[in-house]
């Protein structure tokens, strides 16, 4: 049996994730779902052509609910990105995406799907909680991409600021995948040295602005983003399918607050194997509270 990944919503994010999973040889089989039948057919054909000449071939099926139960991972990336055109907060997509959850959660439940559900759809921390509640999937088996993308963007900004490759920057962006996200400077290191040590408040503020602009610059240019998030979704999917036990900042369930929020988590075949208690500075504790309150407020709007 090969590794089978389902993707619902094959717009910019879903289709790029499918392509990334193929090119990195992470999945053996894909099942694509979208309310737009033409998109599914077109993407299947394009993805088949996109792997001609590759050493292995990924089988791809479309809009077949009978395939859902046998998916090892199901990626939820349905939405309507044009609602965020003009630079609106990700919250603006909620009135649309909550309905997609209400449509799909019963189908996922009825299918007997027993794999890991990875949610990308915005607002990420709110949608993943709603999906968990409506599907009833165990909380370790459903989580969101959370601040994995924001962490990559922070690494880009800090790397560029210090003339170092982003892969050599360690550390995390935590909490909401949204406006209240927080660069945990106490965790950000290059060659084990804390980057924030000795930095002026102006330089820190500059790097924070650069990290946050790393996303909006792309969005304002093309009105969607796809490669960065597809890379994170593929990396997380690989960690699940290979039982890799890697630590990635994702939107994981917080028992203390009873909600999903971006934090480092150990990811393997059973989904989230554990989260980590972080030693937080006073500022970081305040930022946690701000994010928790914002996520609660957004959830209340459902």
Shortest spacing between CB 247 and ligand NAD, in angstroms: 18
Nearer to ligand NAD, 229 or 240 (CB): 229
Distance, CA of 87 to CA of 116 (rounded, Å): 31
- Contact predicate 35/103, CB 8 Å: no
List 6, 7, 9, 94, residue binding ligand NAD (CB under 6 A)? 9
Shortest spacing between CB 19 and ligand NAD, in angstroms: 13
Site size toward ligand NAD, by CB under 6 A: 31
List 18, 32, 73, 124, residue binding ligand NAD (CB under 6 A)? 124
- Is the dihedral angle over the CA atoms 143, 253, 123, 131 positive or is it negative? positive
Shortest spacing between CB 61 and ligand NAD, in angstroms: 15
List 122, 135, 187, 291, residue binding ligand NAD (CB under 6 A)? 122
Nearer to ligand NAD, 196 or 230 (CB): 230
Nearer to ligand NAD, 96 or 206 (CB): 96
What binding mask, one character per residue, do residues 176-215 give for ligand NAD by CB under 6 A, x or -?
-x--------------------------------------
**Residue 165 labeled ligand binder:** no
Distance, CA of 290 to CA of 294 (rounded, Å): 6
List 3, 5, 6, 11, residue binding ligand NAD (CB under 6 A)? 11
Q: How far apart are the first and last CA of the chain?
A: 39
Which residues lie below 8 Å from residue 201, measured CB to CB, with a gap of 6+? none
Is residue 218 near ligand NAD by the rule CB under 6 A?
no
List 47, 71, 100, 207, residue binding ligand NAD (CB under 6 A)? 100
Number of neighbouring beta carbons within 10 Å of residue 132: 22
Is residue 21 near ligand NAD by the rule CB under 6 A?
no
CA distances from residue 96 to 9, 101, 124, 217 in whole angstroms, order as listed = 13, 9, 13, 24
Q: Catalytic amino acids? A: 177
Compute CA 34 distance to the chain's CA centroid, rounded to the nearest angstrom: 19
Phi, psi of 195 (to 5 degrees): -60, -35
Shortest spacing between CB 191 and ligand NAD, in angstroms: 28
Exposure string for 183-216, b = 16+ CB within 10 A, e = fewer: bbbbbbbbeeeebbeeeeeeeeeebbebbbebbe
**Residue 12 labeled ligand binder:** yes
What binding mask, one character per residue, do residues 51-80 give for ligand NAD by CB under 6 A, x or -?
--------------------------xxxx
Q: Which two tokens stand for residue 206?
A: 């500059």
Q: Closest Cα to residue 121, out of 142, 107, 151, 152?
A: 142
Catalog residues that contact ligand NAD under the rule CB under 6 A. Answer: 8-14, 33-36, 39, 77-81, 93, 97, 100, 103, 120-122, 124, 145, 149, 177, 224-225, 229
Binding site per annotation, positions for NAD(+)? 9-14, 34, 120-122
């Amino acid at each position: 049996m090969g590794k089978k990944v389902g993707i619902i919503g094959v717009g910019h994010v879903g289709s790029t994730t499918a392509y990334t999973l193929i090119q990195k040889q992470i999945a053996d089989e894909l099942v694509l779902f979208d309310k737009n039948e033409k998109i599914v057919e077109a993407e299947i054909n394009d993805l088949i052509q996109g792997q001609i000449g590759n050493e292995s071939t990924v089988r791809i099926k479309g809009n077949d609910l009978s395939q859902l139960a046998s998916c090892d991972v199901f990626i939820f990336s349905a939405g309507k990105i044009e609602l965020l055109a003009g630079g609106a907060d990700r919250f603006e997509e909620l009135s649309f995406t909550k309905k997609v959850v209400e449509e799909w959660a019963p189908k996922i439940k009825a299918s007997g799907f027993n794999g890991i559900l990875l949610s990308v759809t915005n607002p990420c921390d709110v949608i993943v909680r709603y999906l968990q509640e409506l599907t009833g999937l165990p909380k370790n088996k459903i989580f969101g991409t959370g601040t994995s993308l924001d962490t990559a963007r922070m690494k880009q900004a800090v790397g560029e600021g210090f003339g170092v490759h982003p892969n050599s920057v360690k550390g995390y962006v935590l909490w909401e995948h949204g406006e209240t996200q927080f660069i945990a400077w106490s965790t950000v290191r290059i060659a084990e040295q804390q980057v924030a040590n000795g930095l002026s408040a102006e330089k820190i503020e500059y790097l924070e602005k650069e990290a946050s602009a790393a996303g909006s610059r792309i969005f304002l240019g093309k009105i969607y983003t796809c490669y960065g998030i597809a890379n994170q979704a593929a990396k997380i999917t690989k960690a699940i399918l290979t039982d890799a036990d890697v630590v990635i900042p994702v939107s994981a369930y917080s028992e203390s607050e009873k909600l999903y929020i971006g934090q480092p988590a150990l990811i393997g075949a059973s989904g989230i194997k554990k989260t980590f208690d972080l030693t937080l500075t006073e500022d970081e504790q305040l930022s946690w509270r701000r994010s928790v309150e914002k996520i609660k407020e957004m959830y209340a709007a459902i």
